[in-house]
Copies of this chain bind each other. A is one copy, B any other.
Amino acid sequence: MLMSGTELARAIVQRAAEKAADYTRRTGAKPCLATVIVGEDPASVTYVRMKQNRCHKAGIESRHVALPERTTTEELVAQIRELSDDPAVHGILLQHPVPHHIDERAAFEAIAPHKDVDGVTMHSFAGMSFGHNDFLSCTPGGIMRLLDAHDVEIAGKHAVVIGRSPILGKPAAMLLLARDATVTICHSKTVGLADVVRTADIVVAAVGKPRFVQGDWIKPGAVVVDAGYNEGNVGDVDFDAAVDHAGLITPVPGGVGPTTIAVLLEQTVDASLRQLDA
């Protein structure tokens, strides 16, 4: 069965828009998400434009900071600190990836924890790992919402996460663990990956390689979450083959993607309301 994210995302955004309207009624201003982009990676430019559109529709102000490719780490950190200190900005998103010469971690850490609506700081990661959940990394957060919306049982199940990036694989593993899954984290150095995946009740593919996960790796009835988004709208799972084995499977596009942005908008609005009440 298809595990679509479109309807779910719409519902999350709808609720975020209502809360944004509430914020505006109370303050006369809009919740504000600042998006920082360095350089002109075409995929990133498209993605940021899409986020701005979604913000606009949800009643969220979108402030766009575009920095040239040659920006230094120090300049980027200074820019992000300024946004962290700006009371009119409620959430900050640094578009990933940044150019290679920049220390991305240093830039992420310049985001004030209470404005980390994309869930990329060390503080947010530890919060997810320890069950505090102030802000979630958006894609893992979207994945959990998808699983819940489709009544997927998580506790006691074996979840296999393929990929270990700091904003996708690792936090996804930690969120599944917090919900009492037995969690295995696999990666490029894993030996016998196919056999490990074959033991999974829940598979999260977060590798960034098109059609990497094969159909016959999927245990009959397993839940397959494809967090990949590769060139040509292709996921990390060989969907056409996997769909015959999986009990539930996300399409690409229309699966994890929409829920990721929805969680970003929701967390931005929540941040604005929390900052109002603080």
Partner-B contacts on A (CB < 8 A): 105, 122-123, 125-127, 129-130, 132, 155-158, 164, 166, 170, 173-174, 177, 180, 182-187, 189-191, 196
Contacts and interface: CB of A to CB of B under 8 A. Distances in A.
A185 B187 contact: no
B185 A190 contact: no
A174 B130 CA distance: 13
A187 B182 contact: yes
9 contacts: A122-B130, A126-B126, A126-B129, A129-B166, A156-B191, A157-B191, A182-B185, A183-B184, A184-B185
A156 B191 CA distance: 5
A49 to B, nearest CB: 30
Contact of A156 (B127, B157, B170, B190): B190
Given A182-B189, A184-B185, 8 more contacts: A122-B127, A123-B126, A125-B129, A125-B130, A156-B190, A156-B191, A158-B196, A182-B187
Contacts of A189: 155-156, 180, 182
- Please tell me how many copies of the chain the complex holds: 2
A181 to B, nearest CB: 8
Contacts of A129: 125-126, 129, 166, 170
A155 to B, nearest CB: 6
Nearest to A184: B184
A168 to B, nearest CB: 13
B130 A126 contact: no
A177 B190 contact: no
A166 B122 contact: no
Contact of A105 (B130, B155, B164): B130
Contacts of A177: 164, 185, 187
Nearest to A125: B126
B184 A182 contact: yes
Contacts of A126: 122-123, 125-126, 129
